[in-house]
Amino acid sequence: MANFFKRNMNWINTRMGFFLLTIVLFWAKTYIAYQTEFTLGAKGSVQQFLLFINPVPAALLIFGIALYFRGRLAYWLMMIINVLESTWIFANVLYYREFSDFLSFGIMKGSSDVGNNLGKSLAQITHAYDFFVYIDIVILIILLVTHVIRIDPRPFKRRYAFSITVLSFGLMFAEFGMANADRSGLLTRTFDNNYIVKYMGLNEYAAFNAYQTQKESATRASANASDMKSVLKYLKQNRVSPNVSYYGKEKGKNVFIIHLESFQQFLIDYKVDGKEVTPTLNKFYHSQNTLSFDNFYNQVAQGKTSDAEMMLENSLFGLPQGSAMTTYGTQNTFQAAPAILSQEAGYTTAAFHGDVPSFWNRDNTYKSWGYQYFFSSSYYHEKPGYTVGYGLKDKIFFEQSAKYIEQLPQPFYAKLITLTNHYPYELDKKNTDFPATKTGDKTVDPYVQTAHYLDQSFAEFLTYLKKVGLYKNSMIVAYGDHYGISNNHRPAIAQLLGKSKVTNFDLAQFQKVPFMIHATGLKGGVNHTYGGEIDVLPTLLDLLGVKNTDTVQFGQDLLAKNRNQTVAFRNGNFVSPKYTKIGGTVYDTKTGKVLTLTAAQKKTVAQLQNHVTTELSLSDRVIYGDLLRFYKPKGFKKVDKASFTYKYKPAMAKLAEAEKEEKTSALVKNHNKTTTYKTDAPELK
């Protein structure tokens, strides 16, 4: 076989021959990855053709660099470039598998925040066949080592190398021309990275993302106060009046924000083998004193949980790439819920999280938001078996948080972030008393088990609140931050939903997460209005009777009667009571059927799209330009981050002093007797 190659493939022993073989092998594996690992949605001959050829132009440019060098160095450079390029594909395959998106520089910059936990998650989703992306490198090394291919020591003419460089740019421009003709404004109007990869390729996406990242940095430097005019004009035009039946009904009450990690709406009332996955949350959801929203969507992008927190407490969207908390949480000015409630209504503000404080840059961002206290991992006692995945197990987290909660002067605003129901949905046998689903998907099937554990943890916490005397005087808000099962698990999702297969419309509906507001005496019920996480802050402030007409908020009170019910997704898609738009396809929201639009319907959909595009771009402008530094609402003072410390000893001393001065904490009201927290967590027995 080796002699056959030597006799018939002498061309490959030239520098150009090896270069072309490298390009062909690299192109082939990239195209296979496109088709098998990513859901790019190429439709029609133009999109299919562009997807087929788009690995070539960038490959000619990048690998062509090696042609400018002599002898063995040229071959070594081609191999090194191939390793780097293959690793970029490999990393995106793993990231896309769970997040349905491509890596960005923002995400890579913030990856240090997640530490070893991210590595553990990646290990769970890596398959042996993923290493196929390195197969061409192995083939080329074998061919070189066995001398089937011999290194050509002759110099390569510079004009030929330059011609290949020119050719690569020419192909790129031609490709972009075809892409822009098929999708007008590809790089200016789209919020979806899938489009850029589909039309242009992974390397071009990386270059565009790098350009965007640099542009974002420059935006802040060039921003000025006049940039706020268009933002304020838009907000004034879209501001709605609160519902008089609910405005101020919960005035002065404590607020608990219970962050239900990765918890999706379909889990409510869902059963496995005839057993309710979340019996406590089901009862809570259907309580006559709970306002529950069944058309409430997560609107996160790459920032996942951090995007949800940004929307929930600022009514600002997360960014199209990366995490706003990681990139802008330290330097930007915010008008967040903790600062508003502290300044406007005298609330004590605290966040609870059973992991390291640097995760998503919380230790810095929370100061910018006005959190007076942040109880993170250093405040909790850890032993072997206490943690799983990304931090303390939920039962242990709630149990240890209780001693801090009862010391908070009332009224207080307290956010508790659960963690156990986070991918990869790990739970030891002694805590697992619920059957897994049987979809055959190892990622999906344990999901109901960790969700059930979360439900048990929530039940224990509610019991504690009643026992300590906080339940009746508190508004308890529970919400799911984002999906737990990504769209890349379509067969399993279909089984969970009882369908033979799922459509893009089904997947859009699968983005629903629960949002529940419970308070003693509150007129509850299931509300069918369409909304999302961007709408939480104005809803809560209106219920508390806290004036919020001057602060910058892109959401609208979910209880307002004249609100806009168009829910914007970060990629520019949207859902409304009548129309759901996914990519270029419009569905009837009630039936899920694809619509052939009339002229009047096209006009309506275009207006909805314009609304979505406008609010996303204006919100981005606020964050990128740090525009809130130029705007001071009446009565609102810029947060002084230097006044906060989250170090254990000084923070606890500050809390003790506040408790002594105000004498409104649950501990003081219970005659300084600590209330026992009851939990069946086996680790604590």
How confident is the model over 467-478, as pLDDT tens digits? Answer: 999 999 999 999
**Residue 169 above 80 pLDDT?**
yes
Handedness of CA 480, 484, 485, 488 (dihedral sign): positive
pLDDT at 1: 44
| Sheet-wide strand order for 585-588 | 567-568, 574-575, 579-582, 585-588
Q: What is the DSSP string of 361-380?
A: GHHHHHHHHT-SEEE-GGGS
Q: Give how far Cα 612 sits from Cα of 188, 240, 316, 573, 607, Å.
A: 15, 17, 13, 8, 9
pLDDT band at 395 (very low <50, low <70, confident <90, very high): very high
* CB-based contacts of 565, cutoff 8 Å, min separation 6: 529, 530, 531, 576, 577
Query: What is the pLDDT at residue 549?
Result: 85
Q: What percentage of the chain carries pLDDT values higher than 90?
A: 75
- What are the φ/ψ torsions at residue 343 (nearest 5 degrees)? -75, -40
Specify the pLDDT at position 529.
97
Q: Is 676 exposed, middle or buried (0-12, 13-18, 19+ CB in 10 A)?
A: exposed
H or E stretch at 275 = strand 275-276
Mean pLDDT of 162-177: 94
- Tell me the range of 203-212, 354-363, 659-668 where mean pLDDT is highest: 659-668
Is the pLDDT reported for residue 5 higher than 50?
no
Q: What angle do CA 425, 526, 239 make, to 5 degrees?
A: 100
Q: Given a cut of 60, is residue 257 above it in pLDDT?
A: yes
61-77 per-position pLDDT tens digit: 999 999 999 889 999 99
> 654 exposed, middle or buried (CB, 10 Å; 0-12, 13-18, 19+)?
middle
What's the pLDDT band for 432 if we cut at 50, 70, 90?
very high
Residue burial 394-412, b: 16+ Cβ < 10 Å; e: rest: bbbbbbbbbebbbbbbbbb
pLDDT tier for residue 100 given thresholds of 50, 70 and 90: low
Catalytic sites, residue numbers: 305
pTM for the predicted model, two decimal places: 0.79
Please check the confidence at residue 533 and state whether its pLDDT lies above 70. yes
Residue-level length of the chain? 685
Give the C-alpha separation, 328 to 340, whole Å: 20
Structure confidence at residue 113 (pLDDT): 47
Q: What is the mean pLDDT of residues 245-260?
A: 97
Q: For residue 618, which of 231, 326, 269, 360 has the smallest C-alpha distance? A: 231
The span from the CA of 336 to the CA of 633, in Å, is 12
User: 577-631 pLDDT, tens per residue?
Assistant: 999 999 889 999 999 999 999 999 999 999 999 999 999 999 999 999 999 999 9
Tell me the one-letter amino acid at 82: N
> What percent of the chain has a predicted confidence (pLDDT) above 70?
95
Quote the Cα angle for 497-261-267, to 5°.
25
Between the alpha carbon of residue 618 and those of residues 174, 232, 237, 532, the distances in Å are: 32, 10, 14, 17
Query: Coil, strand, or helix at residue 435?
Result: coil
- Measured between alpha carbons, how far is 101 from 106 in angstroms, rounded to an integer? 13
Which segment of 190-204, 436-450, 611-625 scores lowest on mean pLDDT? 190-204
Q: What gap in Å lies between CA 63 and CA 69, rounded to an integer? A: 11
What number is the average pLDDT over the span 120-125? 65
Nearest alpha carbon to residue 484 among 517, 508, 448, 452: 448
For all residues of the chain together, what is the average pLDDT? 91
* pLDDT (0 to 100) of residue 215: 75
Residue 188 confidence class, pLDDT cut points 50, 70, 90: low
How does pLDDT run across 306-357, given as a tens digit for each residue? Answer: 999 999 999 999 998 888 998 899 889 999 999 999 999 999 999 999 988 8
Range in 99-113, 509-523, 583-597 the model is least confident about? 99-113
Give the Cα separation of 34 and 52 in Å (integer).
9
Rounded distance between C-alpha atoms, residue 201 and residue 194, angstroms: 10
What is the C-alpha to C-alpha distance for residues 630 and 345, in angstroms, rounded to an integer? 24
The reported pLDDT for the residue numbered 376 is 94
pLDDT confidence of residue 186: 74
> Does residue 399 have a pLDDT over 90?
yes
Q: Which residue has the higher pLDDT, 113 or 169?
A: 169
* Per-residue pLDDT at 116: 43
| CA–CA gap between residue 30 and residue 261 (Å, rounded) | 34
pLDDT of residue 390 exceeding 90: no
Determine how many CB atoms are found less than 10 A away from the CB of residue 161. 20
